[in-house]
Amino acid sequence: MKKIGCIGCGNMGGALASAIAKTENALYLADADAAKASALAERLGATCLSVEDLVFQCDMVLIGVKPQGLKALAEEIASAVLERKDAITLVSMCAGVSLERLSALFGAQAKIIRIMPNTPAAVGEGMILYVPGAQCKEADVSLFLSALAPAGKLSQISEDKIDAASAVSGCGPAFVYMFAQGMAEGGVLCGLSYADALAFAAKTIVGAGEMILEGIGHPESLKDAVCSPAGSTIEGVRVLENAAMRGALIEAISAAYERTKELGK
């Protein structure tokens, strides 16, 4: 059993902590909001510690602070990280912050894994992108993979692609929730209860996603297969095309990508 710590108990940090709590590892939490950390610890059966104590005790520490707060955190724990030397691995989920910058903040010899997760990790359906730093050993990556396995799919990616990928998988859930809400409200307009319409929309999104993942067809061909000549679906597709839905999504992903790069500066 290893000791895993989480600094930052917000939505994303809390989601990953929930996944780690399903493993046999011991879980430790720290947050500037002590009440938030305490509430999460009680729910997960974890232990609250100060940031410094957490770094001194844990084998792996997830960093879930905002990019703007990273420098202050590094100043607080860098000496402790240096003292731990090879005994600790840092896992940063700070958007846009490169391994190079993380090494400059925490020390050139620090073992660091950069990740970009998403909130569906809270229900075991997350997409966690990761890039191990040069100092990481195979055992460090193995610990990371086993500790986060309950969160969903973990996929190694080159660092030059992680910001673009996170604009899709990290920011994407928000866009999907907007899409689901729009579908549900359309159902309400047509006479359904909101609860029924939302459940129908959510299950439809899950099912359609599984068909893509199973390789049954390209999204365009899958869409065409639903569209009967002069039927209901093609009429709806016409409306969405006139509203430039695909173009808006492309712009949203591009804007999220550019903002991620700005946050890392």
Domain boundary among 130, 162, 194: 162
Q: Which of 159, 164, 119 is nearest to 136 (CA)?
A: 159
Identify whether residues 141 and 229 lie together within a single domain: no
What is the per-residue pLDDT for 78? 87
Identify whether residues 96 and 201 lie together within a single domain: no
User: CB within 8 A of 208, min separation 6: which ones?
Assistant: 222
**Residue 216, burial from CB neighbour count under 10 angstroms (0-12, 13-18, 19+):** exposed
Identify whether residues 142 and 178 lie together within a single domain: no
Identify whether residues 46 and 84 lie together within a single domain: yes
Identify whether residues 100 and 199 lie together within a single domain: no
Per the CB < 8 A criterion, the answer to whether 163 and 257 are in contact is yes
Does residue 167 fall inside a structural domain? no
Identify whether residues 140 and 186 lie together within a single domain: no
Identify whether residues 131 and 247 lie together within a single domain: no
Question: Are β-strands 111-116 and 89-92 bridged in parallel, bridged antiparallel, or unpaired?
Answer: parallel
First to last CA, the chain: 37
Per the CB < 8 A criterion, the answer to whether 29 and 53 are in contact is no
Domain boundary among 127, 162, 197: 162
Does residue 248 fall inside a structural domain? yes
Identify whether residues 200 and 233 lie together within a single domain: yes
Does residue 21 fall inside a structural domain? yes
Identify whether residues 42 and 104 lie together within a single domain: yes
What is the per-residue pLDDT for 67? 85
Does residue 53 fall inside a structural domain? yes
**Cβ atoms within 10 Å of 67's Cβ, excluding its own:** 18
Identify whether residues 126 and 17 lie together within a single domain: yes
Does residue 123 fall inside a structural domain? yes
Low-confidence ranges of the chain (pLDDT < 50): none
Q: pLDDT tens-digit profile of 24-45?
A: 999 999 998 999 999 999 999 9
Tell me which residue range forms the domain holding 241: 172-263
Identify whether residues 158 and 181 lie together within a single domain: no
Domain boundary among 142, 162, 182: 162
Per the CB < 8 A criterion, the answer to whether 69 and 78 are in contact is no
Q: pLDDT tens-digit profile of 2-14?
A: 999 999 998 899 9
Length of the chain, in residues: 265
CA dist 99 and 159 (Å) reads 8
- CATH number of the domain at 187, please: 1.10.3730.10
Per the CB < 8 A criterion, the answer to whether 146 and 89 are in contact is no
What is the per-residue pLDDT for 192? 98
- CATH number of the domain at 25, please: 3.40.50.720
Structural domains of the chain, count: 2
What is the per-residue pLDDT for 110? 92
Identify whether residues 85 and 136 lie together within a single domain: yes
